[in-house]
Amino acid sequence: MAVLPSAEIKYRSGAVFYPFRQESNFLYLTGFSEPNSLAVIRKTGPGMGDYTFHLFCRPKDPYAEQWSGPWSGLQAAEDVFNADEACDINQLTALLPSLIRDATVIVTDFSTSESKSPLMAAFRTSFPTKNTPITPLTPLINPLRAIKSPAEIAVMRHAGMVSGRAITQAMRRPWSTEKDLESYLSYAFTQHNLSGPAYVPVVAGGRRGCMIHYVHNNALLEQDEMILVDAGGEYGWYITDITRTWPASGKFSAAQRDLYSAVLVAQREGIKMCREQLGMSLDEIHRATEAILETELEKLGFDFGLGKGMFGKGGDLMGTLFPHHVGHYIGLDVHDVPGYPRSLPLRAGHCVTIEPGVYVPNDEAFPKHFRGLAVRIEDSVCVGENECIVLTAEAAKEVEDIEALR
């Protein structure tokens, strides 16, 4: 028996809440996006279809819904969300013990939750006192979530297409503040039925691009700098993850173009490796793109021999210039299926990012004209057997294409 509680509403202060986001495993199995809910899936036989799905949720309540807006209620839990049995969440302590009683194994992640919510309290008191083994859910569900179905890929294509187009539109115009650009993208990510930004974006001018998680997004943009934007929208709960770097003026300087082109070579090669046929893992693609970047940067005068021992963790120069992983899985979450290894060979249906970057410290060890420059190029990609689909191909990334936009 699998038991999954929904996410809970989180409060900022008093009755003021943060935007609600459903717990991803719950969403994956039920499609139900409301708080105060619990799914119980009972295996009733050996076959694929031998199970019953109980969905505990809030019954209709005209008074409360007058305040909060409408919610689904028990009838919709059955009619729309395909519950075999819809149950009133307020009856949890009365109903759950009898459902759980016959379970031989309970699969749930609730035991690791420290929440003190009434739902969790009811859930805990309903657990059987006999020693029914409890095993974690995530290791069972991660391999399912990691491989996307054609329906999931279609949704991710839409998220990628609209978001990519929005970023290309943003490149067409001049921007004088990071905030204006962020606001433009936030709005653009609600068009064509997207629900908004998938994550807090990075909108960084010039050297601020070297701060990987810069999200202040409140500085002025200078026309001789590059703009690094890491932003994407969400559609049907699925995210897209894009980074583009472009010159604020619309035209790259020679140094900007050289560094950008070096990263682009590594990024294109990394994308070509996202094929089941090659059997490469994200970790292997990371090492391969590091090697490509090293070759490209040496052509530009970076001295990997001299730099050794001077920088970063363990004195690794590549780790200073390119300090993050080349990619991660994507899906319902930006860093999807947490805990699913990046050492596994990529298979058809895996969706990942490929996002090499170079962030040059303002240090004499580096060629002067590159100091303080930051470039990252990131696409969301769906792995196929012999080829891959770039979900975010509508975001311009060739130098000529970017410059032609103005």
**Placement of tokens 């060739």 in the chain:** 398
Question: Min. distance of Cβ 336 from ligand GLY in angstroms?
Answer: 10
Structure letter (DSSP) for residue 346: P
- Report the residue number, 324 or 371, with the smaller CB distance to ligand GLY: 324
Q: Which two tokens stand for residue 103?
A: 């379970």
Please pick, from the candidates 109, 178, 225, 230, the single residue that binds Mn ion as defined by CB under 5 A.
230
Q: How far apart are the C-alpha atoms of 267 and 355, rounded to whole Å?
A: 7
For residue 380, give the amino acid letter.
S
225 binding Mn ion? (CB under 5 A): no
Quote the DSSP letter at residue 378. Answer: B
d(CA 85, CA 178): 50
269 binds, options ligand GLY, Mn ion, none, Cβ within 5 to 8 A by partner type: none
Taking the least distance from each CB to ligand GLY, the nearer of 328 and 397 is 328
Say how many residues touch Mn ion, by CB under 5 A: 3
Closer of 230 and 276 to ligand GLY (Cβ) = 230
**Do the Cβ atoms of 39 and 3 come closer than 8 Å?**
yes
Partner from ligand GLY, Mn ion, none contacting 278, C-beta within 5 to 8 A by type: none
CB of 328 to ligand GLY, least distance (A): 6
- Is 241 a binding residue for Mn ion by CB under 5 A? The answer is yes
Smallest gap from Cβ 199 to Mn ion, in A, equals 7
Choice between 37 and 267, CB closer to ligand GLY = 267
Query: Where does this chain touch Mn ion (CB under 5 A) — which range of 79-87, 171-179, 240-248, 285-293?
Result: 240-248
d(CA 139, CA 52): 21
Binds 217, which of ligand GLY, Mn ion, none (CB < 5 to 8 A, cut-off by type)? none
Residue 34 contact partner, candidates ligand GLY, Mn ion, none, CB within 5 to 8 A by sort of partner: none
Residue of 123, 93, 90, 119 whose CA lies nearest to 106: 123
For tokens 């990529």, the residue is 346
| Smaller CB separation from Mn ion, 225 or 230 | 230
Residues 308-367 that bind Mn ion (CB under 5 A): 353
What's the residue count for the chain?
406
Which residue number places its CB atom closest to ligand GLY? 230
List residues binding ligand GLY (CB under 6 A): 199, 230, 241, 328, 334, 355, 378
Minimum CB separation of residue 185 from ligand GLY in Å reads: 13
Closest approach of ligand GLY to the CB of residue 355, in Å: 6
Nearer to ligand GLY, 5 or 164 (CB): 164
Q: Least distance (Å) from ligand GLY to the CB of residue 383? A: 17
Q: What is the tally of helices (H) and strands (E) in the chain?
A: 13, 19
- Closest separation in Å from C-beta 192 to ligand GLY: 21
- Say how far apart CA 230 and CA 157 lie, in whole Å: 18
Element (H, E) at 27: helix 24-30
Query: Residue 199's binding partner, choosing from ligand GLY, Mn ion, none, with beta-carbon cut-off 5 to 8 A by kind?
Result: ligand GLY
Choose the binding region for Mn ion from 88-96, 104-112, 215-223, 237-245 (rule: CB under 5 A): 237-245
Contact present, 42 and 52 (Cβ < 8 Å):
yes
340 to 120, 145, 281, 289, 350: CA distances (angstroms): 26, 10, 12, 21, 11
d(CA 206, CA 372) in angstroms, rounded, equals 7
Shortest distance (Å) from residue 42 CB to ligand GLY:
37
Q: Using CA atoms, how far apart are residues 77 and 290, in angstroms rounded to an integer?
A: 49
Separation CA 130–CA 147 (nearest Å): 36
Residue-wise DSSP of 189-207: TTGGG--EESSPPEEEEGG
Nearest distance from C-beta of residue 76 to Mn ion, angstroms: 35
Examine residue 289 and tell whether it contacts Mn ion (CB under 5 A). Answer: no
Question: Which of ligand GLY, Mn ion, none sits in contact with 333, Cβ below 5 to 8 A by type?
Answer: none
303, 246 contact by CB (below 8 A): no
How near is the Cβ of 234 to ligand GLY at its closest, in Å? 12
Where on the phi/psi map is residue 193: left (φ > 0), alpha (ψ -120 to 50), or beta?
left
Of 230 and 276, nearer to Mn ion (C-beta) is: 230
Residues in contact with Mn ion by CB under 5 A are: 230, 241, 353
